[in-house]
Amino acid sequence: MKLQQLEYVIAIAQAGSITAAAKNLYQAQPNISIALKELESEIGMQIFWRTPNGMVLTPEGEDFLVRAKDIVESMHSLEADYTNRAEDGISLRISAVRSGYISGIIGEWINELDKDEKLSLHFFETSTNKVIDEVNSGRADIGIIRVPLNQYEVYEEQMGNRRFYMRPLAAFVMQPVMFSDHPLAGRSEVTIEELEIYPEIVHADDEMQLFERNHIDKEYESNNLKRIFVQDNGSKMILLNTVKNSYMWASPSSKGMPQGGKSIVSVKCGEVTIKTVDVMICKKSNENNRTVKICMDYLAEKCVGLPCSVPIGDIGKNTEHQNDAENE
């Protein structure tokens, strides 16, 4: 029995099919199918029923899954704990939603480390769902997700079920962000109708209608006819700079970032009604890891002065560990 086989079982159970699990794990489907068959043969038990609607756990498989999760979580925790505490330097893996202020703060943290200390940092920007998958699989020590404040308790329950520690980072309303030479950059407030005549830069992995309803307004329907969908964050910023009069929706904390002799500015849009919160997550077994805790504390401290519309202390008062976070 191999650890990778247990990880495959967990991924299949979460995704509901081998095809979806392979996609989430960036693995070839036949490799996962073969590994599952070999595992079931080795233990003499069927873990999944193969049905037209996907893979369904057998009663024995449900018990096996619980034990597999405990083993995988313990192994990843052991690895992360001793790797991150290694005498020859710091090793950390962070997966986060795309946001300039987050990568900027992580850069500041790196600058404040001992210059002679070895560092191995893997920083990956993607969507909220993929961040959760990265943390759940152990491929990331820290995750930063972006959720609508009105759905915070739903995510809180989901993270609790996954045995995640959850800590609010920054709260705000999304704002249109653009470079300082944009025609609307000097305005104190704009309307959605005014924005829609300009090109919009969009994250390629966002389902737009879902994003708009969850982060802008529940009844929002865009009439923008020119949208550029971009996967890479660097290319997104370059296009924002080069596509004439373009804009994107982002946190107000992204403003002021210089690029190409210009700076990024954010403009208030009064029609945005949904409050959004960025949240740090990690496995509860990893919560007290020295490097993870130092990094998360630094991020939280640096976010205190960011432009937020919702006091962090008002978020997630019922979350486990919230009192500890407030008393730090």
Q: Given a cut of 80, is residue 78 above it in pLDDT?
A: no
pLDDT at 318: 41
pLDDT(276) > 50: yes
According to CATH, what is the number of the domain 175-269? 3.40.190.10
Check residue 221 and give its pLDDT: 74
> What is the pTM for the complete model shown?
0.68
**Residue 82 pLDDT > 90, yes or no?**
no
At residue 266, the pLDDT reads: 87
Length of the chain: 328
CATH of 86-171+276-327, one of 3.40.50.1220, 3.40.190.10, 3.30.390.50, 3.20.20.220: 3.40.190.10
CATH for 3-82, options being 3.40.50.300, 1.10.3860.10, 1.10.10.10, 2.40.420.20: 1.10.10.10
Residue 224 class from Cβ within 10 Å (0-12 exposed, 13-18 middle, 19+ buried)?
middle
| Cβ(199)–Cβ(228) below 8 Å | yes
Cβ atoms within 10 Å, residue 62: 12
Number of H helices, E strands in the chain: 12, 15
Domain span(s) for CATH 3.40.190.10 in the chain: 86-171+276-327, 175-269
pLDDT value of residue 86: 46
Q: How much is the average pLDDT of 222-243? A: 85
Q: Is 109 exposed, middle or buried (0-12, 13-18, 19+ CB in 10 A)?
A: middle
pLDDT tens column, 158-180: 888 888 999 988 888 888 999 98
Give CA 273 to chain center in angstroms: 22
Q: How many CB atoms neighbour CB 308 within 10 A?
A: 22
| Residue 215: predicted pLDDT | 81
